[in-house]
Amino acid sequence: MLFWEKFVAVLEKTAFHEVFAMHFIKILKLNIMKNFQILFLCICSAIWGIAAGAGQGGESVHAQDFSRPNVGGTLYEENANFRVNYKILETAESAIVSSGKTLFCDGNIYDFVDNSDEVIVFNSKANKIYVLDVKERKKWQASPEEVEEYVSKIYRWGMSHPKAEIRQYFQPDFKINYEEEKEEYSFVSENFSYFVTPKKPEKPEFLEKYRYFARWSCQTNMMLSPGSKTLYARSVVNETVFNAGFMIESLQLSIKNSKNPFAKPLVLLSEYQYLPRLVDNDLTTIRQVEDYLVLFRDGTLEDFQQKRLAKEKK
């Protein structure tokens, strides 16, 4: 059995697939080799000039075809920096189960989740995705094409699974509806559903940048946590809303208890706040992360997968 098949088997035992697919970081200040780092990063900035892949057209309302390369989302208007704050609540207890922020700066994206050791960097200029472990001082990198190739293997495995309840997560048969009075999208399937409140972006480039991030964030997390099945369905939701020219203000995920049909479903509410600028503290955080990219030693994909799996077993 492949590693990610074992991963799926473990995560099938819990309903918190989407929450555990998230990642986060605690930033520590580095006061050593500062001048050398700045010089080194300036040199790297002059070398890194690889543009991200050209944007793609509209997607089907079914799951994206992860079996084919589909690198999408060119980032433009690099000076249009902004920040997205988010939090995820379990509605039954009104408890925050996850929160974090995503910083968009000069064509790069820095994604953090509170109270964790991970940060993910999407560098469109270098055409690289970096995953950092601040506690272990490790980093791992891949190109978007490498991520998509890995994810396509998981997708094909899921689509050929003998159990229909597993296959539905990889190509959900959503009934999609938009209610104009409520200004809400609904994506309803047999065992899980999404309800989305859309929001018009303040600037068109915000939508393009966030769409790029959402696409690669989903796929990177599929790679790091192969058992997080709802991420495939979430990619369908994202693309449908983005194709209509909206961002997501709030999203509710309802998952039925497959073992007890009479039990109340698990309901998770995600809320997003879009801020049209970065503050000095955000820029300081970004500089620290760039330092980590220089100083941290190389790790492996399995290092990060095993750490997530160990955390999810607790």
pLDDT digits (tens, 9 = 90+) for 161-205: 998 888 888 888 999 999 999 999 999 998 899 999 999 999 999
Structural domain of residue 18, as residue ranges? 3-50+84-313
- Residue that is written with structure tokens 């999404």 in the block: 194
The whole-number pLDDT of residue 314 equals 65
d(CA 133, CA 117): 5
pLDDT average, residue stretch 254-275: 90
Please answer whether residues 54 and 72 qualify as being in contact, where contact means their C-beta atoms are separated by less than 8 angstroms.
yes
Mean pLDDT computed over every residue of the chain: 80
- Top pLDDT among 260 and 74 is at 260
The whole-number pLDDT of residue 79 equals 58
pLDDT at 232 over 50: yes
Q: Is residue 157 part of a domain?
A: yes
pLDDT at 6 over 90: no
The whole-number pLDDT of residue 259 equals 77
- Count structural domains, the chain: 1
Q: Is residue 176 part of a domain?
A: yes
Q: How far is CA 235 from the centre of its chain?
A: 10
- pLDDT tens digits for 48-98? 333 333 333 333 333 344 333 333 334 444 557 999 999 999 987 788 999
- Residue 288 pLDDT class (50, 70, 90 cuts): very high
pLDDT at 160 over 50: yes
Q: Is residue 46 part of a domain?
A: yes
Strand pairing of 95-105 and 184-188? Answer: unpaired
Q: Is residue 62 part of a domain?
A: no
Read off the pTM: 0.75
Look up residue 190 and give its two tokens.
């047999």
The whole-number pLDDT of residue 279 equals 95
d(CA 65, CA 57): 13
d(CA 286, CA 105): 8
- Residue 302 pLDDT class (50, 70, 90 cuts): very high
Q: Is residue 104 part of a domain?
A: yes
Residue in 217, 191, 187, 245 with CA at minimum distance from that of residue 15: 191
Q: Is residue 222 part of a domain?
A: yes
Q: What DSSP state is assigned to residue 171?
A: S
The whole-number pLDDT of residue 54 equals 31
Q: Is residue 77 part of a domain?
A: no
- pLDDT tens digits for 194-230? 999 999 999 999 999 999 999 999 999 999 998 887 8
The whole-number pLDDT of residue 101 equals 98
Helix (H) or strand (E) holding 233: helix 230-243
The whole-number pLDDT of residue 5 equals 52
Q: What percent of the chain has pLDDT over 90?
A: 60
CB neighbour class for 133 (10 Å; exposed up to 12, middle 13-18, buried from 19)? buried
pLDDT at 46 over 80: no
Which positions ≥6 away from 262 have C-beta within 8 Å? Answer: none
Residue in 289, 195, 238 with CA at minimum distance from that of residue 72: 238
The whole-number pLDDT of residue 237 equals 96
The whole-number pLDDT of residue 58 equals 33
The whole-number pLDDT of residue 89 equals 95
